[in-house]
Each structure stands twice: as C-alpha cells, then as structure tokens.
Structure 1
C-alpha cells in the first residue's frame, strides 16, 4: 500500500514531492535560484518536468523554512539573505553549545567525547579533505558536543538552529585552509574538555564559531557575486 500526500484534490506520491523539495533546495543552496529572484510554479514545474502539485507542496515547505515568500498575483520570490538575522542565530547557537559544555563538566568527559577525539585529534595525513565530508563531520562534531551535555531539548533546539544556518554554513569548507583550521580548532577544544578546562574550551568554541561565521559571510557574498555575473552573461 502506497502513502500519498494530497494537494488541490490531486494525489502526489510522497517520494515525488520529496524529490521536488530536495531539488528546489539544492537550487537555492547552489544559487541557481538567487536571493531576490521571482519565479512561478509553472516555470519550476516545466523545468523539473513534474506537475504543479509537488512544486507547490515543496514551495510551501520551503516557505515554512524561511527560504522563499509567496507574493499575491506575482508568484514566488527567493528571500534575500539576511546576515543580521544569521548573526543573531549564530549567537543562539553559541549559547546552546556553551551551555552544553558547562553541563559536560559534570559528566564523564572521556566517554562523552571519545568518538569525537578519534575523528579530530589525528595526524594531518589522516584528515579528510573532501569539502562535503568535512562539512558533515563538522555538523556531527557540534551536534555531538551538544548531545554529550545530556539535555535532549537543547539538542533539538540546536538541530533546528543549525538547519537555519545550513544554507551558508555548508560553504565553510570550500577553502582548503578552512579544513585545516577546523581540524586544529576542534582538536584544541576537545583537548581542553579532556583536561577539564571547560571555561577555556568555551572560549575556544566561541572563537571558532565566530571565525567560521565571518568566513562563510565572505564566501557567500563572493559566490553570490559570481552567480549574478554569470547569470547576467547568459
């Protein structure tokens, strides 16, 4: 028996709606759809060779996530990147991770961060270099620190916060020097936790996240400039 989602009295297989959502989100993340761009459901449906129903369902989902807006009688628009809002979200993220480190001070630190130390405290020749792999490992690192704190609600909120930052955070490892810096900074944070110096670990963590925040802003603006230049030349 198949599961189906309904929209406008039509039946849409859930996998088709999910695939349309995933492809649209990739278009946003890769700046094929640029901030400020206007488009219609018909245009997207024609390009993706699907009906309007899964497109509409995907767009409403992206609207709830804050990526697009619907404009009366004008179709849809990609929402501009709001770096002031991103800065505010980053501050929430830092508070959540610092709080988790404080909770970690009352736990068995070795068992809590053992797996993370195996990944990040390794010789340079054993480090990952693929940008996407390092990004996923970095996500696991920060989620792992929060999980080690032992509060599932903090982990849930942190997960939601990271999802809101993902459109820019995934660009952090497109530069080789950022990969190297991340390994070194993660290892330093873990070393301080292992030694029980939670205050120093918190200081290093905040500095690490701030450096990443500034770097992804520069990379994002550069990629947006290049994407707009390429679009204007086509």
Structure 2
C-alpha cells in the first residue's frame, strides 16, 4: 500500500512549519549576517552611533529580514547594538566604565579556564592545545618584529579564544563570548595608540608554562595578571585622550 502523503508539519498554534532544509538555510544566513555585521563593528566600519533599519541592512546583504533580525538579536545580547522598535539598530558606544566591567569578567573567567586546562590529565589533546597556544604566541612575536600590529592582534585574539574554547567547560566559553568581542573592539580601536605590546608575549608564555607544568594556581594567576595588565593599560589611555565613548 503506497504511503499517504501528509500535509506540511504544523507548529503547536496550527501554523505551517517551515521544511527542515529551509530552516537550516535561514540559520546559515543568520550566521553569515551576524559575522558580517560583527566584523564591520569591530573594524569600525559601522562606528558608534551608526543607525539603520532592518530593511536597509537586509537589502545591503541581499537577504530577507528574518536572518538579519536573528543576527541583530545576537549582537544586542553581546552588547554591540541596541534594537530600536520600528527603527532598526543603533551601534552602541563603549565607555571606559563598560571596559572595566568587561575586564572584571575576563579576568575571572580566563583565570578559571587556565586553571582548568592545567588541571586536566596530560593527554594528546592537552598537548595539541599547548602547541596551538605556543604557535599563536610565536606568531605574535614574529608580527611584533615586523611591526605588524594587525597580525599581532589577530594572533593574540586566537590565543585567548583557544585558551577559553579548549578548556573543557562550555559554560565558561559561552559566558566569555558575550563580552570578548567588546574587549576586542576596544583593543582594535586603540591598537596604534598604545606602547608596543612586547610584554604580552612574555605573559602568554608564562601561562603556557604553568599549564604544561600542571600547576593550576600558577596558571590562573598568570592569566589574571595578564588581563589585569591589559585593562590597566587600556582604560587610562581612553580617559587621557578623552575618548569617553568608542
């Protein structure tokens, strides 16, 4: 007996449910819109105060409004934008006070991530993570030697992303994701206003050494010292230059 063709799947309220392939495509477009807009904000191509409607952004990206709406919601959750009812989005400014709060979170959670990595039993996975952390630190040193601060910043961000994403605690990773982009934004915008960050390479290697030595207390301490140093350098520069908002 041939299978009887059923009607479209329904949501609990009775409305037709989109086919799985359509949902997946919309999700992929939402991710693409999110990445594009986030990178544009980090690069200051969409500066603080920029405002656009959902329709305008969708037209620019050649997408429907649904994936753009999802991207805007994610960006609002991470503190990049504010959704204005019927007016689209506003790229939010970042103040020194905001940065102080963000670095409090980074200091605590990255310290915990380093402690956790140092607490794991030695394995091939731990060795791979250490190799990756060492590789990014080497890239930072090479970039500084050539005076390429943009390449240094890329490698620095990869180091911190790896430290958090590979520590084995998904909640730490998800919590840091909500603020890490904002700290990257501030560091990128002040990249050429700070002294050459030679100390960052030294401090990264101390973190790596403590993890390799399976010393959680020292790994956590080194990670927190490193982030405190970045905070204590960055925030006064913003204040001294009267950059009250970014």
Q: CA deviation at 1:194?
A: 4.2
How does 1:1-234 map onto structure 2 within 5 Å? 3-4=21-22, 18-44=31-57, 48=60, 50=62, 53=65, 55-72=68-85, 74-103=87-116, 104-105=118-119, 107-108=121-122, 111=127, 113-117=130-134, 119-120=136-137, 130-146=148-164, 149-171=167-189, 174=192, 177-195=195-213, 198-217=216-235
Q: Please, what TM-score do these two structures have when normalized by structure 2?
A: 0.62
Q: CA deviation at 1:209?
A: 0.9
Runs of at least 5 residues in structure 2 that lack an aligned partner in the other structure: 1-18
Q: Partners in 1 of 2:143 and 2:51 — Cα distance?
A: 45
Point out the structure with max Rg over C-alpha.
2
Q: Partners in 1 of 2:61 and 2:133 — Cα distance?
A: 43
Question: Would the alpha carbon gap of residues 37 and 120 (structure 1) be closer, same or farther in structure 2, given more than 3 Å must change?
Answer: closer
Runs of at least 5 residues in structure 1 that lack an aligned partner in the other structure: 7-11, 229-234
Could you tell me which residue of structure 1 aligns to residue 4 of structure 2? Answer: none
* Range with bigger deviation, 56-65 or 170-179: 170-179
Q: CA deviation at 1:195?
A: 5.0
- The CA RMSD over aligned residues, in Å, is 4.5
Verify the 8 A CA contact 2:81 2:90 in the aligned structure 1.
yes
Q: CA deviation at 1:184?
A: 2.0
Q: Partners in 2 of 1:125 and 1:49 — Cα distance?
A: 36
Question: Would the alpha carbon gap of residues 185 and 36 (structure 1) be closer, same or farther in structure 2, given more than 3 Å must change?
Answer: same
Q: What whole-Å deviation, never above 9, does each CA across 1:85-109 have from its counterpart, x for those lacking one?
A: 3322322222222223334156439
Q: Partners in 2 of 1:31 and 1:223 — Cα distance?
A: 18
* Larger RCO: 1 or 2 (CA < 8 Å, sep 6+): 2
Q: Partners in 2 of 1:158 and 1:51 — Cα distance?
A: 29
Verify the 8 A CA contact 1:41 1:52 in the aligned structure 2.
no
Aligned residue-pair number: 221
Verify the 8 A CA contact 2:140 2:201 in the aligned structure 1.
no
Q: CA deviation at 1:135?
A: 3.1
* Range with bigger deviation, 191-200 or 120-129: 120-129
Q: Partners in 2 of 1:133 and 1:87 — Cα distance?
A: 25
Q: CA deviation at 1:67?
A: 2.0
Q: Please, what TM-score do these two structures have when normalized by structure 1?
A: 0.64
